[in-house]
C-alpha cells in the first residue's frame, strides 16, 4: 500500500463502511477477527450495501454476504486482474481519476489482458460465471469498499496482493472517497501503533528509512550524539542494515550460512517482548532455534507458549509484564486513530509495565540517561506516559503525529459521546477534531484525516493527494526524489480543494516552498535552511504549507508500477508448495533471494525441489477462531473461553474424510512439508472445500501427540491445550516484507 499510495495505513475507517454501496471482503473474516467492526459492515448492509465474500472457506462472514465465491488460496492476483480487465473492457473505469492521479495505470491494463474469465476460473478454481457475478456487483455499485487482512499479506506474493487491491480500487475511483477505500483490518489493538513506532527491523519510528540521514535525524530527536549511537553497533553498515524479521530469525540461529549476513555471527540471544512467536510458520524450527540460543528472555503477562515448546533447561527467563488494564498511554486503532488508555489497576504481584522493564535493562546496560534524555527534554524529570507521547509528537513528522497530543487525546477520551460514528466528526468541546485524530494530523490545529487521499476537501479538513516523494536511483546509486519516471510525470494533475497552488507538486522543502506562492521572512528562511517538511523542528514549513492549503508531503500520483521492486507490476505466482503443479511452469515463483532480512531464502529451489502435491495432496487453510486471540495464550487461560473452544481440531469436508476413512471425531495425523506433524481431531464441516482442511492457529501446549503441560511453571498452564497448527505450515516468505506464508500450505493426513 505504502508503495502504491504513499502510506500503508487503512485508508478509511470502520464507521465509514456504513456509507458504502458494496463491500468486497477478500482475505479477511471480520465476523471472527473483528466482531465489533463487523457491526459496521452489517449496518452498511442494512443501508443497502451488497456484501461480497471471497474466501477459500465459507466463513462466518460469508454467512452474512449477499454473494460468496470460493477461490483457491493464493490466487487473489489472478482474480483482481480479471476484475480490472472486465472493468476496462466494459468502460466501468474512472478514466479521469486514473489520468489525474495514477502513474502508469496503462501498463496494468496490458498485464490484465491475459486474465480472461476462463483463465481466472482455471487459476482460482471458481466458475467464470461466479467470477463475473462478483465483478459486476462490485463494479456497478459505487462507492465500493475493499477489506482485507492476513489472508492477503501472509503469502510469498503478499505485497503484490496489497498493491493490486488498491490499484483495482483506483480503476473504480474508489480511493479518497467516502464509503470507498482500502480497509486493511489490523489483527489486534495497537498493531498500527506498533508499526508507527517501528517495531520492525527495517525502519525507524514513523517509517523513516534506516539510513545515515534518518539516524542523524533521530540522534537529534533523542538528544544523543550520532557517533555515540553509531558506536553501539558493530559497524556503520550493520546500523543501516535491515534486521532479521519476526519470521526469519530462527534461520539466523540454526543456519550457519546466514552468519555472513549478520556481521559474521549467528544469533545468540533472544528477547521476546509481548509477541506470540509460536504462531509463525514451522514452529518446529522456532523450537530448534530456541533450544540452540545462549540466552532467551520472554516478557509477557502470561507464559509465552514458545517458552514451553523449547527443551532448554537453563538461561531462559520469564519476566512478568503488566497487562493492558495495568498500563496507560496512547493506543492506535486500525484506522490510524489514537486513543488514550487509562490505568485501571496497578500491576498485580511482581508484574511491571513494559517501559519499566526496558528502563531497568537500560540502567543495567549503562545507557539509562541517554535512553530517557529526550523524555525529560530539558526538564529535571519526565512524566510517563505523557512525555513519551510528546516525544513522538516532536519526532514523527512523516505520518503527521504532531497533532496527536496527550491533551487532545485525553479530552477526546472524556467526550466520546460528542463524536459522530459515521464521519468521526466531533462537536462541542471537540469541534474541529475527528475522533482519534487519525494520522496524518499535521498540527495541533489540524483535525486529523479520517479518510485519506480525498481531494474534495481541503488539507485542513483532512484532504490530501497521493505521495510525491517517490525515489529513484541517482547517479551515485543513492535514492533521490524524482518528479517523473520514463518520461511520465509523477505529480498529480488535480489538487485538494482550497489549495492555493494548482496541480501536483513535490514535497515541501526550504528550497522549493517559495515556488508555491508562499513567502518566508528572512528570519524564517534562516531557521529552515536546508530542511524539509519531515525534519524541520520549527514546523515553519509544515504550517506555511497548511496555511496555503498544501499537503506537506506534496501532491503526487499513486504508482501502478513500482519500478524498484522485483515485480514492478503485481504478478500471479504459484505458491512454493502449489496445489496446482500444472500451473507452476506458467506462473513460477521468484528466484532464490540472498540476505533477505539477513536470511538466504529459497524460492525457486524450494518450489522445484519436488512435485509437492504428489506427496502432500491436501491444501491447508489456517486462521483464527472467534473465541481465541493470536496464539491463544491469554484466551486459553480463560475458563469460559476454554469451555467454548477448548480443543484443537481440523475441519474436513465429509467427502475428503471418506477418502481417508475418517469418521467425524476421529483423531488424524497431519504431516507438513517440513518435518512437523500434529495429531488433531477431525471435525466434519461443509465450510471447507473438498480439497482442503482448516485448522485454527490459536492452540499450543501439545506437541506431536505429547502434552507439554508439565513444562508450564506451576499454576500457569492454560485451561485449553492443543496442537500448534504452525508446526505443519510450510516454508515460504513474502518477497518484500518476509511475512511468512501461512496461507498456502500442503499436508498429508492419515488416520491416527
Partner 1 sequence: MSRMKFYCDDYRCIDCNGCVVACKEAHEIPVGVNRRRVITINEGIEGKQKSLSVACMHCSDAPCQKVCPTDCFYIRTDGIVLHDKDKCIGCGYCLYACPFGAPQFGHEGIFGVKGVMDKCTFCAGGPDETLSENEFEHYGQNRIAEGKIPMCASMCSTKALIAGDASEVDKIYEYRTAKRGDNTSLKPYGWEAYNNGK
Residue 35 in contact with partner 1, rule: CB under 8 A: yes
In angstroms, the CA 287 to CA 309 distance is 6
Cell numbers found for residue 645? 473452544
- Rounded-to-integer distance, Cα 282 and Cα 293, Å: 17
Under the binding rule (CB under 8 A), the answer on residue 134 touching partner 1 is no
The alpha-carbon radius of gyration of the chain (Å, integer) is: 26
Reading the block at residue 610, the C-alpha cell is 519436488
Helices (H) and strands (E) in the chain, counts: 27, 29
Q: How far is the CB of 287 from partner 1 (least distance, A)?
A: 32
SS3 of 584-636:
HCCCCCCCCEEEECCEEECCHHHHCCCCHHHHCCEEEEEECCCCCCCCCCCHH
User: Does 626 interact with partner 1 (rule: CB under 8 A)?
Assistant: yes
**Residue with smaller CB distance to partner 1, 648 or 720:** 720
- Rounded CA separation 526/538 (Å): 11
| 64 lines the binding site for partner 1 (CB under 8 A) | yes
Q: Which is nearer to partner 1, 510 or 626 (CB)?
A: 626
Part in contact with partner 1 (CB under 8 A); list of ranges 265-273, 310-318, 456-464, 635-643? 635-643
Using CB under 8 A, which of 68, 148, 612, 699 touches partner 1?
Answer: 68
By CB under 8 A, which span of 55-63, 74-82, 187-195, 518-526 interacts with partner 1? 55-63
Nearest to 215 by CA among 195, 190, 237, 244: 237
Per the CB < 8 A criterion, the answer to whether 652 and 690 are in contact is no
Using CB under 8 A as the binding rule, whether residue 131 contacts partner 1 is answered as no
Q: Which residue in the set 26, 31, 87, 648 belongs to the binding site for partner 1 (CB under 8 A)?
A: 31
Cβ-based nearer residue to partner 1, 45 or 446: 45
Write each residue from 382 to 411 as x if it is in contact with partner 1 (CB under 8 A), else as -, in one continuous string.
Answer: ------------------------------
The DSSP-derived string for 234-281 is S-HHHHTS----TTTHHHHHH-GGGGGGTTT----EEEEES--GGGSS
Grid coordinates in use for 413? 477520551
The answer to whether residue 337 forms part of the interface with partner 1 (CB under 8 A) is no
Q: For residues 132 and 644, which CB has a smaller minimum distance to partner 1 in the complex?
A: 644
Q: Does 42 bind partner 1 (CB under 8 A)?
A: yes
DSSP annotation string for 290-338 = HHH-SEEEEEESS--HHHHH----SSEEEEEBP-GGG--EEEE-TTS-E
Selected from 5, 25, 38, 280, the binder of partner 1 by CB under 8 A is 38
Instruction: Return the number of the residue (80 or 689) whose C-beta is nearest partner 1.
Output: 689
The reply on whether position 576 binds partner 1 by CB under 8 A is no
CA 331 – CA 456 distance, rounded (Å): 29
- Asked if 343 touches partner 1 (CB under 8 A), the answer is no
Q: Is 88 in the site for partner 1 (CB under 8 A)?
A: no
User: Using the rule CB under 8 A, is 417 a contact of partner 1?
Assistant: no
| DSSP-assigned states of every residue in 38-84 | HHHHHHHHHTT-EEEEEESS--TTGGG-SEEEE--TT-HHHHHHHHH
CB of 212 to partner 1, least distance (A): 48
Distance of alpha carbon 270 from alpha carbon 263, whole angstroms = 17
98, 124, 650, 688: which one binds partner 1 (CB under 8 A): 688
539 in contact with partner 1 (CB under 8 A): no
Q: Applying CB under 8 A, does 39 fall inside the site for partner 1?
A: yes
Under the binding rule (CB under 8 A), the answer on residue 17 touching partner 1 is: no
Work out whether 644 is an interface residue with partner 1 (CB under 8 A): yes
Smallest separation (angstroms) from partner 1 to the CB of 134: 14
Of 131 and 251, which has the nearer Cβ to partner 1?
A: 131
Residue 353: which of 386, 374, 327 has the closest Cα?
Answer: 327
Of positions 639, 658, 659, 751, contacts partner 1 by CB under 8 A: 639
**514-to-399, 403, 497, 685, 710 alpha-carbon distances in Å:** 23, 25, 20, 66, 70
Query: Taking a C-beta distance cutoff of 8 angstroms, is the pair 715, 320 a contact?
Result: no
If one asks whether residue 594 binds partner 1 (CB under 8 A), the answer comes out as no
Kindly state the smallest distance separating residue 127's Cβ from partner 1, in Å: 13
Name which of 405 and 687 has its Cβ closer to partner 1. 687
Q: What is the dihedral of CA 547, 549, 552, 558, to 10 degrees?
A: 180
Candidates 113, 484, 643, 750: give the one binding partner 1 (CB under 8 A). 643
Q: Would you count residue 749 as binding partner 1 (CB under 8 A)?
A: no
Find the length of the chain.
Answer: 752
| Terminal Cα-to-Cα distance of the chain (whole angstroms) | 44
| Choice from 372, 374, 622, 685 touching partner 1 (CB under 8 A) | 685
| Options 686, 707, 709, 716; binder of partner 1; rule CB under 8 A | 686
Single out the residue of 340, 351, 286 nearest to residue 318, CA to CA. 351
- Given candidates 535, 687, 725, 726, which one binds partner 1 under the rule CB under 8 A? 687
Scanning 224-232, 540-548, 554-562, 633-641 for contacts with partner 1 by CB under 8 A, the matching segment is 633-641
Of 61-69, 197-205, 314-322, 385-393, the segment contacting partner 1 by CB under 8 A is 61-69
Q: Which is nearer to partner 1, 24 or 102 (CB)?
A: 24
Q: Which residues bind partner 1 (CB under 8 A)?
A: 31-32, 35-36, 38-39, 42, 45-48, 58, 60-64, 68, 626-627, 638-641, 643-644, 685-688
Amino acid at each position: 500500500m505504502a508503495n502504491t499510495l504513499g502510506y500503508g495505513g487503512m485508508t478509511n475507517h470502520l464507521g465509514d463502511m456504513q456509507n458504502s454501496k458494496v463491500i468486497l471482503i477478500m482475505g479477511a473474516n471480520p465476523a471472527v477477527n473483528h466482531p465489533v467492526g463487523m457491526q459496521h459492515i452489517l449496518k452498511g448492509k442494512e443501508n443497502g450495501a451488497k456484501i461480497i465474500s471471497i474466501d477459500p472457506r465459507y466463513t462466518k462472514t460469508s454467512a452474512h454476504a449477499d454473494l460468496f465465491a470460493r477461490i483457491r488460496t493464493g490466487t487473489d492476483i489472478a482474480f483482481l486482474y480479471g476484475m480490472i480487465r472486465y472493468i476496462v473492457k466494459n468502460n466501468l473505469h474512472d478514466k479521469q481519476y486514473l489520468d489525474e492521479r495514477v502513474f502508469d495505470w496503462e501498463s496494468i491494463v496490458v498485464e490484465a489482458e491475459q486474465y480472461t474469465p476462463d483463465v481466472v476460473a482455471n487459476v482460482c478454481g471458481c466458475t467464470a460465471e461466479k467470477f463475473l457475478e462478483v465483478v459486476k456487483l462490485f463494479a456497478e455499485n459505487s462507492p465500493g469498499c475493499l477489506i482485507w487482512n492476513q489472508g492477503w499479506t501472509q503469502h510469498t506474493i503478499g505485497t503484490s496482493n496489497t498493491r493490486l487491491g488498491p490499484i483495482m480500487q483506483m480503476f473504480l475511483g474508489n480511493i479518497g472517497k467516502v464509503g470507498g477505500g482500502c480497509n486493511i483490518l489490523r489483527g489486534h489493538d495497537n498493531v498500527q501503533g506498533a508499526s508507527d513506532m517501528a517495531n520492525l527491523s527495517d525502519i525507524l519510528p514513523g517509517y523513516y528509512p534506516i539510513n545515515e540521514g534518518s539516524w542523524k535525524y533521530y540522534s537529534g530527536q533523542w538528544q544523543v550524539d550520532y557517533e555515540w549511537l553509531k558506536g553501539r553497533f558493530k559497524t556503520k553498515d550493520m546500523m543501516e542494515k535491515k534486521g532479521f524479521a519476526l519470521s526469519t530469525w530462527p534461520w539466523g540461529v540454526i543456519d550457519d550460512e546466514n552468519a555472513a549476513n549478520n556481521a559474521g555471527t549467528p544469533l545468540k540471544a533472544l528477547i521476546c517482548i509481548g509477541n506470540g512467536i509460536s504462531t509463525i510458520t514451522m514452529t518446529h524450527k522456532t523450537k530448534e532455534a530456541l533450544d540452540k540460543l545462549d540466552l532467551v528472555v520472554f516478557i509477557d503477562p502470561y507464559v509465552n507458549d514458545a517458552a514451553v515448546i523449547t527443551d532448554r533447561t537453563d538461561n531462559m527467563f520469564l519476566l512478568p509484564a503488566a497487562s493492558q488494564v495495568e498500563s496507560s498511554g496512547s493506543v492506535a486503532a486500525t484506522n490510524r486513530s489514537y486513543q488514550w488508555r487509562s490505568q485501571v489497576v496497578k500491576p498485580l504481584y511482581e508484574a511491571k509495565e513494559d517501559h519499566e522493564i526496558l528502563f531497568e535493562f537500560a540502567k543495567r546496560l549503562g545507557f539509562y540517561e541517554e535512553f530517557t534524555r529526550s523524555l525529560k527534554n530539558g526538564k529535571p524529570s519526565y512524566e510517563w506516559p505523557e512525555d513519551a507521547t510528546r516525544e513522538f509528537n516532536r519526532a514523527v513528522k512523516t505520518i503527521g503525529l504532531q497533532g496527536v497530543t496527550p491533551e487532545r487525546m485525553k479530552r477526546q477520551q472524556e467526550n466520546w459521546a460528542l463524536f459522530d460514528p459515521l464521519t468521526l466528526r466531533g462537536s462541542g468541546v471537540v469541534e474541529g477534531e475527528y475522533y482519534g485524530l487519525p494520522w496524518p494530523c499535521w498540527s495541533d490545529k489540524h483535525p486529523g484525516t479520517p479518510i485519506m487521499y480525498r481531494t474534495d476537501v481541503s488539507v485542513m479538513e483532512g484532504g490530501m493527494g497521493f505521495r510525491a516523494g517517490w525515489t529513484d536511483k541517482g547517479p551515485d546509486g543513492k535514492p533521490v526524489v524524482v518528479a517523473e519516471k520514463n518520461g511520465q510525470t509523477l505529480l498529480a494533475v488535480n489538487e485538494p480543494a482550497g489549495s492555493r497552488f494548482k496541480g501536483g507538486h513535490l514535497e515541501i522543502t526550504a528550497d522549493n516552498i517559495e515556488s508555491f506562492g508562499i513567502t518566508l521572512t528572512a528570519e524564517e528562511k534562516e531557521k529552515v535552511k536546508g530542511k524539509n517538511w519531515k525534519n524541520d523542528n520549527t514546523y515553519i514549513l509544515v504550517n506555511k504549507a497548511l496555511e496555503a492549503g498544501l499537503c506537506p508531503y506534496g501532491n503526487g500520483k499513486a504508482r501502478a508500477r513500482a519500478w524498484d521492486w522485483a515485480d514492478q507490476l503485481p504478478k500471479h505466482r504459484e505458491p512454493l508448495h502449489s496445489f496446482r503443479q500444472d500451473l507452476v511452469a506458467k506462473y513460477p515463483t521468484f528466484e532464490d533471494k540472498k540476505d533477505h532480512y539477513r536470511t538466504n531464502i529459497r524460492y525457486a529451489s524450494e518450489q522445484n525441489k519436488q512435485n509437492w502435491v504428489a506427496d502432500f495432496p491436501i491444501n491447508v487453510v489456517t486462521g483464527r477462531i472467534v473465541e481465541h486471540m493470536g496464539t491463544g495464550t491469554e484466551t486459553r487461560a480463560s475458563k469460559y473461553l476454554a469451555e467454548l473452544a477448548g480443543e484443537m481440531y481440523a475441519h474436513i469436508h465429509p467427502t475428503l474424510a471418506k477418502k481417508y476413512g475418517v469418521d467425524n471425531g476421529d483423531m488424524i495425523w497431519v504431516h507438513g512439508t517440513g518435518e512437523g506433524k500434529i495429531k488433531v481431531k477431525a471435525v466434519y464441516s461443509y465450510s471447507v472445500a473438498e480439497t482442503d482442511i482448516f485448522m485454527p492457529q490459536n492452540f499450543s501446549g501439545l506437541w506431536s501427540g505429547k502434552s507439554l503441560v508439565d513444562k508450564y511453571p506451576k499454576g500457569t498452564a492454560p485451561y485449553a491445550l492443543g496442537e500448534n497448527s504452525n508446526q505443519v505450515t510450510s516454508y515460504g516468505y513474502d518477497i518484500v516484507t518476509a511475512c511468512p506464508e501461512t496461507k498456502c500450505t500442503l499436508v498429508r493426513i492419515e488416520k491416527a
